[in-house]
A and B are shown apart, each in its own frame.
Chain A
Amino acid sequence: MPFDLHFIVRLIPALLQGAEITVALAVLTVVICLVWGLLVALAQSRGGVLSWIAGGYIQAVRNTPLLIQLYIIYFGFAMAGFPLSGFLSGLLALCIQNGGYVAEIYRGGLQSVSQRQYEAGRALGMRRWTLYTVVIMPQVVARVIPPMTNQAISIIKDTSQVAAIAVMEMMKVAEVWVESSANTYDVFLGVALIYLVLTSVAGLIGKVAERQLAFAQ
């Protein structure tokens, strides 16, 4: 029976427990990717062998499905003799894939800063580190926030794929509950609503950050 209140009362805590894992995965992925993606983007902007490797990495991860990367990491590591937990494999795959996307976003941001800003900084005798931390990066960060917000939303949605390697995040919890109760409507309505709340919160955080950093534009 759809909309069975007794069922929903038992369902919600279970889904929220799954949502905790979903949020943990998403937040860790976003934080790691913000750093990792920047390193990749800077490596790519430097030229030389490193830039070639960074470019290859970006193309490789962006043009293959997350699910396949997940399987390669989860089953590949197990075969190689040091098995990773489902959560760790999921986190690693999410970071590897989204690192490529985040690096592209940073690249766009770095390119949007006018060449004159670099020249002016150097003319003032700034060291590379000062130039980047004081002049370039504040502008880049302010500009990349809207696309980063979209990427964060897409990361939240991507975490559902980790269900494929039996991590008990929200999607997997939902599957288990549907299988055991056949109460398809309630379970999926609940899951959809929680995902909508999570992605909306991410969108709101992005909007606030955008407003806070508007001065750096």
Chain B
Amino acid sequence: MMKTFAPLLHSYWYLFRGAGMTLLMAAASVVPATLLGGALALVHVFGRRTARSALQVYLFVVRGIPLLVLLTFVYYLLPLTGIDLPPFWGVVVVMSLYYAAFMSEVFRAGIESLPQAQWDAARSLGMQRHLLLRIIIFPQALRLAAPPFVSLCANLVKATSLVSIVGLWELTMASREVVERTLAPFQIFLGAALIYFCICYTMALYGRFLERRSLVGH
């Protein structure tokens, strides 16, 4: 047993460094994706009709095309356009734009699932719109949106594995390199899977905790 997993025991530090890069890439993408997703959700709920239809087109396109296609496209596109963007940031831009679409859906669902009575009650108290949104709608909507938001973040962490296909270095790429050296694909990829599991399962547990907490108020 020990001997079978010796290649993994020799290279776990390299995989951990890869995992660090995975987390860095995910964190760098989550922040702009969240901000953009929030803005898009506001457009969806409060925007004019033209802006809303434009958003629908964006959502349709992003939801219908695999992330890998977009990542590969940017990988081939960047050298052609002469934009001097390091591949890391190219990936971050694509991931942010892609996940912003899903984030916007999560936030929109949070806002729209609040009962109309909340709006009516706040208005009948004479609240101005920005006050109403700030102290009545957004706090509740964010609380409702928190669990799906966390599971979307876990999804994003898993999706960073795709950047290894376009040649970026992170956990999946690191494990492929180790496999090439040690010829022990089963053990090494199992180790990488275990690291991904620890990251994503922790997030899933946190999401479940948030879900239970958000049910308390109802």
Contacts and interface: CB of A to CB of B under 8 A. Distances in A.
The answer to whether A and B come from one shared complex is: yes
Nearest to A80: B186
B72 A175 contact: yes
B186 A76 contact: yes
Contact of A68 (B66, B67, B161, B204): B161
Nearest to B192: A68
Contact of A67 (B60, B77, B80, B172): B172
Nearest to B154: A63
Interface in A132-181: 153, 157-158, 160-161, 163-164, 171, 174-175, 178
B161 A171 contact: no
A75 B189 contact: yes
Contact of B73 (A60, A63, A184): A184
A153 B185 contact: no
Contact of B172 (A60, A68, A175): A68
Contact of A160 (B66, B164, B200): B66
Given A63-B196, A64-B200, A75 B185 contact: yes
Interface in A182-217: 184, 188, 191-192, 195-196, 199-200
Given A59-B201, A67-B162, A164-B165, A157 B189 contact: no
Contacts of B196: 63-65, 68
B201 A79 contact: no
A71 interface: yes
A153 B172 contact: no
B150 to A, nearest CB: 12
A75 B179 contact: yes
Given A67-B172, A69-B193, A71-B189, A178 B76 contact: yes
B185 A188 contact: no
Contacts of B68: 160-161, 163, 171
A79 B200 contact: no
A65 B66 contact: no
Contacts of B63: 153, 199
B114 interface: no
A61 B154 CA distance: 13
B88 interface: no
Contacts of B67: 157
A192 B185 CA distance: 32
A62 B184 CA distance: 24
A171 B186 contact: no
9 contacts: A65-B161, A79-B186, A153-B63, A157-B65, A160-B69, A178-B76, A195-B65, A196-B61, A196-B65
